[in-house]
């Protein structure tokens, strides 16, 4: 079963590392711990049952609890697939912001950093184009760059 563990935002990697080390030394049935990029404040943990998961994370720093409903494999796959689409943004693509202060605005990608999951864009339909760097998951591609360019 997969469980969503709420953690302090920005501490996902540290918490996952601590829990992974604890899992190696523990006899509780904890099978995996994963971070899904773009899910700030949450990590995914695979455990045999909810009781094992709850007792495993109890009294850990930066861990705030477990969401009451376990995730199905299909739900987890959808979350991973949604995150992978963000990695398909390339220089020259036209994107539209789906969240944040630029929601609804279109922009041209001038730089894409898949390691940091960030894009640098210039807003379209503005008098002075200013480069803006943001996370890839805040925008969706509306027009891919053509193969010839």
The per-residue DSSP string of 52-98 comes to HHHHHHTT-TTEEEE-SSPBPHHHHHHHHHHHHHHTT--TT-EEEE-
Q: Is residue 55 part of a domain?
A: yes
Residue 119: enclosing H or E segment and its boundaries? strand 118-123
Tally the domains of the chain.
Answer: 2
Q: 18-22, 24-28, 111-115, 132-136: which has the minimum mean pLDDT?
A: 111-115
- CATH number for the domain harbouring residue 135: 2.30.30.30
Residues 62 and 102 in one domain: no
Confidence at 55, pLDDT banded by 50, 70, 90? very high
Q: Is residue 23 part of a domain?
A: yes
Q: Is residue 148 part of a domain?
A: no
Which residue range forms the structural domain that includes residue 14? 2-85
Q: Could you tell me if 86 and 117 are in contact, meaning their C-beta atoms sit under 8 angstroms apart?
A: yes
- CATH number for the domain harbouring residue 43: 3.30.70.940
Q: Is residue 149 part of a domain?
A: no
Residue 110, classed as helix, strand or coil, is: strand
Residues 46 and 103 in one domain: no
Q: Could you tell me if 136 and 87 are in contact, meaning their C-beta atoms sit under 8 angstroms apart?
A: yes
Q: Of 85, 112, 129, which residue constitutes the final position of a domain?
A: 85
Q: Is residue 107 part of a domain?
A: yes
pLDDT tens column, 84-132? 555 588 899 999 988 888 888 999 999 988 777 889 999 988 888 889 9
Q: In percent, how much of the chain has pLDDT > 70?
A: 93
Residues 93 and 74 in one domain: no
């Amino acid at each position: 079963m997969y469980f969503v563990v709420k953690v302090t935002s920005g501490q996902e990697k540290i918490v996952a590392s601590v829990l992974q080390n604890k899992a190696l030394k523990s006899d509780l049935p904890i099978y995996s711990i994963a971070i899904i990029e773009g899910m700030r404040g949450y990590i995914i943990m695979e455990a045999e049952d909810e009781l094992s998961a709850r007792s495993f994370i109890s009294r850990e720093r930066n861990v705030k609890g477990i969401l009451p409903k376990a995730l199905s494999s299909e739900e987890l796959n959808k979350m991973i697939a949604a995150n992978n689409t963000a990695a398909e943004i390339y220089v020259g693509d036209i994107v539209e912001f789906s969240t944040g202060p630029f929601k609804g605005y279109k922009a041209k990608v001038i730089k894409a950093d898949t390691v940091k999951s960030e894009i640098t864009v210039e807003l379209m339909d503005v008098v002075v184009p200013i480069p803006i760097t943001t996370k890839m998951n805040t925008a969706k591609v509306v027009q891919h760059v053509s193969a010839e360019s």
